[in-house]
Amino acid sequence: MPLIIPKELPAYDALSQENVFVMHRERAQSQNIRPLRILILNLMPTKIVTETQLARLLANSPLQVQITLLQTATHDTSHTSPEHMKAFYKTFDEVKHERFDGMIITGAPIEDLDYPDVDYWDELCEIMDYTKENVYSTIHLCWGALAGLYYHFGIPKVHLPQKMFGVFEHRVTRPSNPLVRGFDEVFYAPHSRWAGLDRAAIDACPELRVLAESDIAGPMLLSTDSGRQIFVIGHPEYDKYTLDAEYKRDVAAGKPIHIPCNYYPQDDPSRDPLFRWRAHGYLLYTNWLNYYVYQDTPYDLSQLEALKK
């Protein structure tokens, strides 16, 4: 089944060229199928790149999925045109009276800031509070995961002496959990961040389960028992060349950055990087849609109120 996105969104043409099944809204509305409604709060500065990456993963499912793009009203993006934001993004005020099957809160390159110093922190807290009652399952990515763990469970972040940057080996710690169904015992995932988590605080939190972790990068995939809140400390949505672009950008800007680990053959940036996390990235989102969004979501979202009583 297709992913439903506006035909004018840049991701539509990009995914169509990859033979990904996408459908514009007008055609979808002619079909008698209720798609899964996924809200994406895109905090990344490169909005169009992130839209396409997430759309690609959400389209790899037999389920019909319709995305709604959300922006913060308290922070203006400087990397994406105002015309694009106006055409494709909504603010929280425009959606806060709606319900969604699932939500994704992306990362943002602001790990060096304390949470209260983030200019949209209060708005983000309001949105995360909204997910408790109005979204069936929410995935938090990278900085979004750090922020979500702090907001929901008080887990503090830890500033790292150097950037966690590269592709790292992870092991599945709870293979019976549906979110990692079909995962290899060991899999790879990219990381690009200046902050980590207080592992002792995670272990002391009875609501959290660590599903996958790395000896080097630490906990990578965490969830509550219900799966209502899921935290991904990494970037399984990244394209093959995303880390390459970040590395070359920082080198050109004269910023301190090391070659991304386990990425270029023989650590040679002139060589084509290895893309070895794609399959597990697709599988993670397919499992999420199937087991935590589709199977556990009532057909009529108004039934959420009845389920809470």
Asked about 79 being catalytic, the answer comes back as: no
| Cβ atoms of 140 and 231 closer than 8 Å | yes
From 51, 213, 237, 246, active-site residue = 237
* Amino acid letter, residue 147: A
Asked about 235 being catalytic, the answer comes back as: yes
**Quick one: which of 181, 231, 235 has its CA closest to 202?**
231
Q: List beta partners, residue 70.
A: 41, 90
d(CA 100, CA 297): 10
d(CA 107, CA 42): 8
Asked about 142 being catalytic, the answer comes back as: yes
DSSP annotation of 261 reads B
From 142, 170, 191, 246, active-site residue = 142
From 140, 152, 191, 235, active-site residue = 235
Residues in the chain: 309
| Cβ atoms of 38 and 56 closer than 8 Å | no
> What amino acid positions are annotated as catalytic residues?
142, 235, 237
